[in-house]
Amino acid sequence: MFSSVPVPRQPRGSEPPPEVRRRRWIHLGTWAALLLLVGLSFQGSELNVAQLISGTGNSWRYIFGTPDQPNSGFFPPDFSKGALYFSQMLLTVKMAVLGTVGAVLLALPLGVLAARNTTPNRWAYQLTRRLLDFLRGLNEFVLALIFVAAVGLGPFPGILALVFHTAGILGKLFAEGIEDIDEGQVEAVRATGAHPLSVLGRGVWPQILPHVLSMSMYRFESNVRAATVLGLVGAGGIGFYITEAIRGFDTRAASAILIIILLSVFSIDFLSAKLRARLQ
């Protein structure tokens, strides 16, 4: 008979392994940095809850008017020029459509160059990434002002502003989608000796198509909202009319325009969400 001899267990140390301790310190450092950032953000922000509460009455009187000032306030809205406002809102949606389509056409090749697994070399990757950063960093208003100075007032500079700013956003999103694809399918197409463009068309494009459509629809929603205010700088659309109404203290006309904008944005957001749900 064999006698079982107990094997002495190695004593476990009270300290966790170095890798675990390192991760803990990284987590603690990250949270400490975030808390410090939030704390520093309060400096100079002039946050004053008491002032907000005391000023609520002024906002109420501005929106709903006061008895001692006839025709003050935003209600009832004045739809006497409703046909004009609706036509300008339609023009705003057209600007968003053209801006989004142009941005997608520009962002697709930029996204390919900005993805590590499809870019031809490191320099192309870095240059394209910096270009996308530059386009995203320029606000639509800044771009609209630049293009208004170049081509004059009207919807054209607004469309150009939407194209270039949105291309910077979509290019980055497309690049991230390309980097997440299944490389096995790409390698299978490449193993057949296919041309690099065929590899993109048959190995990459089918995988990122749902992502491209979903992100494009999302940015279209955002561009509709952005296009409604580009008229503030003379870049066409309904924004020009709401600016004129507010400057002329015609708050009831401004109320009618805001209602049209809100109804249009709500409708587009609802339809876009339904469409994106079907595409996923």
For the chain, the average pLDDT equals 83
Mean pLDDT of 255-277: 85
pLDDT interval class at 237 (50, 70, 90): confident
- The model's pLDDT over 183-235, given as tens digits with 9 standing for 90+, comes to 777 778 777 777 777 777 777 888 888 888 888 988 898 898 888 888 888 77
The pLDDT of residue 106 is: 94
- The model's pLDDT over 46-69, given as tens digits with 9 standing for 90+, comes to 887 888 888 887 888 777 777 777
Judge contact between 61 and 177, C-beta under 8 A.
Answer: no
The alpha carbons of the chain give a radius of gyration, in whole angstroms, of 28
Judge contact between 242 and 201, C-beta under 8 A.
Answer: no
Judge contact between 107 and 92, C-beta under 8 A.
Answer: no
| Topology annotation, domain 84-279 | MetI-like fold (1.10.3720)
- The model's pLDDT over 65-106, given as tens digits with 9 standing for 90+, comes to 777 777 777 788 888 888 898 998 999 999 999 999 999 999
Neighbours of 261 (CB within 10 A): 22
Question: 42-46, 130-134, 264-268 — which one is most confidently predicted on average?
Answer: 130-134
The pLDDT of residue 5 is: 56
**Domain regions of the chain by residue span:** 84-279
